[in-house]
Chains A and B, each alone.
Chain A
Amino acid sequence: MNDPHAEPAAEHDGQQPEDPFTEWQRLDIRSVLASMGLLVVPMLPVAGLVLFPADGSVARPTAGLALALVVFGIGSAWWRWFFTRFRVTAERFELRQGNFSRSFHSIPRERIRSVDLTAPVAHRLLGIAVVRIGTGRKSTRDSELRLDALPTARAERLREQLLRQRSAPAGEAPSERGPGGAAEGTDLARMRPSWYLYSTLTASLLLVTWAALGSALNTLGDLLRALGITSWLVDRLPGSPDSVLAGPSLWIGVLVILLVLLAGGWLGALAISLEMWWGYRLSAESGNTLHVRRGLLTTRAVSLEKRRLRGIELAEPLLLRLAGGGRLTAVATGLGSGSSGRSDNKALLPPAPRRVAERVGAGVLERADGSGGPGNLRRHPRAALRRRMTRAMLVVLVPVGASVAAQLLGPLPWWSSLVAVLLAVPAALFALDAYRNLGHDLHDDLLVTRHGTGVRRTVLLQRNAIIGWRVKQSPLQRLAGLVTMSATTAAGDGHYSVHDVDPSSGLAFADEAVPGLLTPFLRGGSADDGAEREPPAEGGDSAER
Chain B
Amino acid sequence: MIDTGETPGGVRLRPPHHRVDRRAVLWWGCRAAVAVVVLLVALVLAAWWFTSARGVLLLTLLPVGVLGAGYAVVMPWWRYRVHRWETTDSAVYTASGWISREWRVAPMSRIQTVDTARGPLQRVFGLSTVTVTTASAAGPLSIDGLDHEVASDLAERLTMTTQAVPGDAT
A residues with a Cβ closer than 8 A to B are 136, 138, 169-172, 333-334, 337-338, 465, 467-475, 478, 481-483, 486, 488-490, 493-495, 502-505, 507-508, 511, 516-518, 520-527, 530, 536-538, 540-541, 544-545
Task: Report the Cα distance A486→B106, complex, angstroms.
Answer: 12
B135, closest chain A residue (CB): A490
Is A494's CB under 8 angstroms from B137's CB? yes
Task: Report the Cα distance A170→B150, complex, angstroms.
Answer: 35
With contacts A136-B170, A172-B167, A523-B14 known, what are 18 further pairs, Cβ within 8 A? Answer: A334-B170, A467-B107, A467-B134, A467-B169, A469-B104, A471-B103, A473-B5, A486-B138, A488-B136, A489-B138, A490-B136, A494-B138, A505-B10, A517-B90, A521-B13, A521-B105, A536-B88, A545-B153
A523, closest chain B residue (CB): B14
Task: Report the Cα distance A507→B14, complex, angstroms.
Answer: 11
Is A467's CB under 8 angstroms from B135's CB? yes
Instruction: Given A467-B110, A523-B11, verify A472-B105 contact (CB < 8 Å).
Output: no
Is B88's CB under 8 angstroms from A470's CB? no
Is A470's CB under 8 angstroms from B102's CB? yes
Is A489's CB under 8 angstroms from B4's CB? no
User: Which residues of B are found within 8 Å of A508, using beta-carbon distances?
Assistant: 10-11
User: Which residues of A are found within 8 Å of B103, using beta-carbon distances?
Assistant: 469-471
User: Which residues of B are found within 8 Å of A478, using beta-carbon distances?
Assistant: 5, 101
User: Which residues of A are found within 8 Å of B168, using beta-carbon distances?
Assistant: 467, 490
Task: Report the Cα distance A321→B68, complex, angstroms.
Answer: 48
Task: Report the Cα distance A475→B87, complex, angstroms.
Answer: 27
A468, closest chain B residue (CB): B106
Is A541's CB under 8 angstroms from B86's CB? yes
Set A170, A475, A516, A537: member contacting B99, Cβ < 8 A: A475
Is B100's CB under 8 angstroms from A524's CB? no
B residues with a Cβ closer than 8 A to A are 4-7, 9-14, 16-18, 86-91, 93, 99-107, 110, 134-139, 141, 150, 153-154, 157, 166-170
Set B13, B88, B105, B150: member contacting A540, Cβ < 8 A: B88
Is B170's CB under 8 angstroms from A333's CB? yes
> Ordered nearest first, which 3 A-B pairs have the shortest CB separation?
A504-B10, A494-B137, A495-B138
CB distance from B81 to the nearest CB of A (A): 14
Interchain Cβ contacts under 8 Å between A and B, 20 examples = A333-B135, A467-B107, A470-B104, A470-B138, A471-B4, A471-B103, A472-B102, A490-B135, A494-B136, A494-B138, A504-B4, A504-B10, A511-B11, A521-B13, A521-B16, A521-B105, A522-B11, A523-B13, A525-B9, A544-B87
Is A541's CB under 8 angstroms from B138's CB? no
Total A-B Cβ pairs within 8 A: 166
CB distance from B112 to the nearest CB of A (A): 9
Task: Report the Cα distance A416→B162, complex, angstroms.
Answer: 64
Task: Report the Cα distance A470→B87, complex, angstroms.
Answer: 16
Task: Report the Cα distance A507→B169, complex, angstroms.
Answer: 23
Q: Which of A136, A475, A486, A503 neighbours the largest number of chain B CB atoms within 10 Å of its CB? A: A503
Is A544's CB under 8 angstroms from B136's CB? no
Is A522's CB under 8 angstroms from B13's CB? yes
User: Which residues of A are found within 8 Å of B18, using beta-carbon distances?
Assistant: 541
CB distance from B89 to the nearest CB of A (A): 5
Set A170, A472, A502, A538: member contacting B100, Cβ < 8 A: A472
Is A523's CB under 8 angstroms from B138's CB? no
User: Which residues of B are found within 8 Å of A472, using beta-carbon distances?
Assistant: 100-102
User: Which residues of A are found within 8 Å of B137, using beta-carbon distances?
Assistant: 138, 337-338, 490, 493-495
Is B169's CB under 8 angstroms from A465's CB? yes
Task: Report the Cα distance A59→B154, complex, angstroms.
Answer: 74
Instruction: Given A517-B107, A521-B14, verify A503-B136 contact (CB < 8 Å).
Output: no
User: Which residues of B are found within 8 Å of A171, using beta-carbon distances?
Assistant: 166-167
CB distance from B154 to the nearest CB of A (A): 7
Set B17, B89, B141: member contacting A536, Cβ < 8 A: B89
Task: Report the Cα distance A504→B86, complex, angstroms.
Answer: 21
CB distance from B32 to the nearest CB of A (A): 19
User: Which residues of B are found within 8 Å of A537, using beta-carbon distances?
Assistant: 17, 86, 88
